[in-house]
Amino acid sequence: MSKDYLPSMKTSKLLRLPSNMAVSPNRQGSLASYEDLETPYVRMIVEADKIPWEYNVLASSANWVLLAGYLVVPGTFTSLRNSDAVSDTLSQNSAGSAILNTIQNPPLLAISCVLFVIGTVIMGWLFRKHQFNYIWLTSRLFI
């Protein structure tokens, strides 16, 4: 039997290995083991499964906090101009015009900025911690 073929686990047929994966007999003389067929991609998948669940929960929470901060921002710029009575009264002098052109809800803007920064910092920290495992980054942090 050639070294290029391995028995399949599911069938009795032989599977042809890709040409870039040479199989050499190990110390016991058998053809291949799991370590012989391990690729960087397979290693990343195994490592992604071994990452503690706390990091997965933290990644999901950071995504939601970032999204909350991002979605709250438009609510801070709602205009008093939508109300005809208020806009007519305020537009009669320069102070009223300044009020119409400012941020309508500063505390909401502050909350939004804090949520956005917290989500970004946590996601940046998780990215730096797992930067070489793009399988985990793609499945947990970016999607």
Q: Torsions phi, psi of 19, nearest 5?
A: -65, -25
The residue among 12 and 87 whose pLDDT is bigger is 87
Number of domains in the chain: 1
- Which region, left, alpha or beta, applies to residue 24 given φ > 0 means left and ψ of -120 to 50 means alpha? beta
CB atoms within 10 A of CB 118: 16
pLDDT the model gives residue 8 = 46
Give domain status of residue 58, yes or no.
yes
Domain enclosing residue 129, as ranges: 54-77+105-142
pLDDT digits (tens, 9 = 90+) for 44-90: 999 999 999 999 999 999 999 999 888 877 666 665 555 556 566 66
Contacts 24+ apart (CB under 8 A), 19-24: none
| 12 found inside a domain | no
Classify residue 39: in a domain, yes or no: no
Please write the tens of the pLDDT for every residue from 13-57: 555 555 655 555 555 555 555 566 778 888 899 999 999 999 999
> Per-residue pLDDT averaged across 81-106, rounded?
63
